[in-house]
């Protein structure tokens, strides 16, 4: 019997477990470890609460977790509670699927002022991530800004602009729903260093902005090149740019405004003990399509500033790490040690982009460890003994089901669940 440890229960971890299960059938046991007692990574803590159809991908992962050869072992922090070297002793191969949970920094003065939050923190706050339950972002000012021109920036801006009514059917956590309902924010400026042709926003996410109850998206037509210039764009981007152009035609008579400020490079965040404004330099594109400062500066008022400019992975002791991800070649880090998903590639692509990663690594493992060969390691049995010695209380898939049932039972009307937002509350739900 082969034993495999997949570290991380987000999409990449689940696709890898699925692929290993397909490759080895009943000749392998696959344990999916996670530092939290509950599975799914960014499907639970990242994907927007008002995008429930996307979160439903977890149903597919449930099938993997329920299959005979796969177990979930939650509440285990790899690199802390147990080392990678220990896992390599216990398992035939270890696959790191730990994602990229940390916000990249802007690297400008003032970014540590109160009122400036990273998107991982802000998204975690409204999605019930236990590390960010106490974030309490300042929503008492009238102006907010989101820095970044990708879908995460759009998620943050949309969530800031929605009414309580528009959150019906979502699983936004109660503390965020109440705080947003009382928010004074009326203007949200979305800053991007480059122009409409350089956005990383997709049509579905942009399209939603045209139908918000209380907010209207605003663009400056002079930021756009002539419409003929859209022709050579890749079809998805062309559609996005067409949607953006269309925002110029929308009736602006709504209480909240979402302003797209293109060619805008933040230089500093300023304020008296807390964020009050962003000093911005106007940019233009150089020959290579990079943003070049023009020297013209102006100020964008904002007492809440969300930075959404990308993520980096967490290093794990003794695993080579560079540029925000594990050093790997086609997923292989070293002998019997692999990485997949955002920990392997960095924070790009959709949920589905992680699938080929998992399958590619499972193929590599199957090529070096053919079916029926070797395999006398202890796997979960040894791991659980080690955890017991260290007084770590792991959770399993049945535990997650119990937590899920309680969260479903606690849901407000029309919502799929009311998430627990503290690790201890998960453990309480299990009677531990
Ligand atoms: C805000 C946001 C919104 C998004 N929205 C969409 C969307 O609408 N549609 C879409 O297609 N994609 C979306 N994505 C992208 C999608 O979420 C990612 O592609 C995907 O989650 C990456 O999968 P992953 O498994 O590599 O990482 P993750 O999903 O981050 O999973 C990593 C897992 O590893 C665990 N872990 C980390 N470190 C350790 C450790 N040391 N020990 C044990 N466990 C550990 C974590 O707890 C986590 O469960 C979004 C991303 C973000 C950030």
Chain-centre distance for alpha carbon 347: 8
Distance CA 353, CA 196 (A): 24
User: pLDDT tens across 9-28, in order?
Assistant: 999 999 999 999 999 999 99
- Of 84, 67, 68, give the one whose Cα is nearest residue 8: 84
Distance (angstroms) between ligand 1 centre and the Cα of 314 equals 12
106-to-59, 294, 306 alpha-carbon distances in Å? 36, 19, 11
Comparing 252 with 272, which gets the higher pLDDT? 272
User: pLDDT tens across 16-59, in order?
Assistant: 999 999 999 999 999 999 999 999 999 999 999 999 999 989 99
User: pLDDT tens across 105-132, in order?
Assistant: 999 999 999 999 999 999 999 999 999 9
Distance (angstroms) between ligand 1 centre and the Cα of 166 equals 25
User: pLDDT tens across 186-237, in order?
Assistant: 999 999 999 999 999 999 999 999 999 999 999 999 999 999 999 999 999 9
The protein residue whose alpha carbon is closest to atom 27 in ligand 1 is 99
Neighbours of 366 (CB within 10 A): 17
Q: Do residues 150 and 306 touch, judged by C-beta distance below 8 A? A: no
User: Relative to the CA of 12, which ligand 1 atom is closest?
Assistant: 25
Distance CA 9, CA 32 (A): 6
**CA-based end-to-end distance of the chain:** 32
pLDDT above 90 covers what percent of the chain? 95
Distance (angstroms) between ligand 1 centre and the Cα of 273 equals 33
Helix axes 151-161, 119-126, angle to 10 degrees: 50
Torsion angle, CA of 291/295/296/301, rounded to 10 degrees?
70
Distance CA 274, CA 266 (A): 17
Distance CA 33, CA 405 (A): 21
Structure tokens at 297: 């500066």
Pocket of ligand 1 (CB under 6 A): 7-13, 33-36, 41-42, 46-47, 51, 54, 77-79, 97-99, 123, 152, 155, 314, 316, 341-343, 349-351, 354
- Of 156, 266, 158, give the one whose Cα is nearest residue 210: 158
Band (373; pLDDT cuts 50, 70, 90): confident
272-to-114, 131, 132, 136, 144 alpha-carbon distances in Å? 10, 27, 25, 19, 16
Distance (angstroms) between ligand 1 centre and the Cα of 403 equals 20
Q: What is the SS3 assignment for 213-255?
A: CCEEEECCHHHCCCHHHHCCCCHHHHHHHHHHHHHHHCCCCCC
Comparing 370 with 166, which gets the higher pLDDT? 166
**This prediction's pTM:** 0.95
Mean per-residue pLDDT for 335-360?
Answer: 95
Distance CA 344, CA 289 (A): 27
Structure tokens at 232: 């050579």
Distance (angstroms) between ligand 1 centre and the Cα of 13 equals 10
Q: Is the pLDDT of residue 287 over 80?
A: yes
Question: Which of 12, 32, 46, 345 for mutating ligand 1's site (highest number of atoms within 8 Å of CB)?
Answer: 46
Q: Is the pLDDT of residue 333 over 90?
A: yes
Q: Side by side, which strands form the sheet with 28-33?
A: 70-73, 28-33, 2-7, 93-96, 337-339, 332-334
Structure tokens at 349: 């692509």
Which alpha helices (DSSP H) does 52-150 contain, by range? Answer: 52-55, 58-66, 84-90, 119-126
Residue showing tokens 């899920």 = 404
Which residues, at least 6 apart from 185, have a Cβ–Cβ distance to it below 8 Å?
139, 141, 142, 143, 144, 160, 161, 256, 304
Distance CA 129, CA 411 (A): 17
Distance (angstroms) between ligand 1 centre and the Cα of 309 equals 16
H helix count then E strand count, the chain: 15, 19
């Amino acid at each position: 019997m082969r034993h495999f440890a997949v570290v991380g229960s987000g999409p990449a971890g689940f696709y890898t477990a699925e692929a290993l299960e397909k490759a080895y059938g009943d000749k392998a046991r696959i344990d999916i470890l996670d530092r939290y007692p509950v599975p799914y990574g960014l499907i639970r803590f990242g994907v927007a609460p008002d995008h429930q159809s996307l979160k439903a991908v977890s149903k597919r992962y449930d099938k993997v977790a329920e299959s005979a050869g796969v177990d979930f072992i939650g509440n285990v922090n790899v690199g802390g509670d147990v080392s990678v070297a220990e896992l390599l002793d216990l398992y035939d191969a270890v696959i790191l699927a730990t994602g990229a949970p940390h916000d990249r920094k802007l690297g400008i003065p003032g970014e540590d002022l109160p009122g400036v939050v990273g998107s991982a923190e802000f998204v975690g706050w409204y999605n019930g991530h236990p590390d960010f339950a106490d974030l309490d972002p300042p929503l008492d000012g009238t102006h907010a800004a989101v820095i970044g021109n990708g879908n995460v920036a759009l998620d943050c801006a949309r969530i800031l602009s929605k009414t309580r009514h528009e959150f019906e059917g979502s699983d936004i956590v109660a503390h965020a729903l109440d705080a947003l309902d009382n928010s004074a924010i009326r203007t949200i400026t979305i800053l991007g260093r480059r122009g409409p042709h350089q956005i990383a926003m997709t049509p579905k996410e942009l399209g939603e902005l045209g139908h918000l109850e209380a907010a209207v998206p605003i663009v400056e037509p002079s930021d756009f090149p002539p419409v003929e210039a859209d022709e050579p764009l890749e079809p998805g981007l062309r559609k996005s740019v067409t949607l953006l152009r269309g925002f110029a035609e929308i009736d602006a008579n709504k209480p909240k405004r979402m302003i797209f400020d293109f060619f805008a490079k933040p230089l500093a965040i300023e304020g008296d003990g807390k964020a009050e404004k962003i000093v911005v330099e106007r940019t233009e594109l150089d020959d290579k399509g990079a943003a070049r400062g023009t020297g013209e500066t102006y100020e964008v008022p904002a007492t809440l500033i969300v930075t959404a400019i990308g993520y980096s992975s967490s290093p794990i002791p003794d695993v080579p790490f560079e540029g925000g991800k594990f050093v790997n070649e086609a997923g292989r880090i070293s002998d019997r040690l692999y990485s997949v998903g955002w920990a392997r590639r960095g924070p790009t692509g959709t949920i589905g982009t992680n699938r080929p990663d998992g399958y590619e690594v499972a193929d590599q493992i199957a090529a070096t460890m053919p079916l029926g060969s070797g395999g006398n390691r202890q796997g979960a049995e040894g791991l659980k003994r080690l955890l017991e010695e260290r007084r770590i209380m792991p959770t399993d898939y049945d535990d997650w089901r119990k937590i899920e049932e309680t969260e479903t039972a606690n849901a407000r009307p029309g919502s799929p669940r009311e998430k627990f937002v503290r690790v201890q509350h998960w453990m309480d739900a299990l009677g531990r």
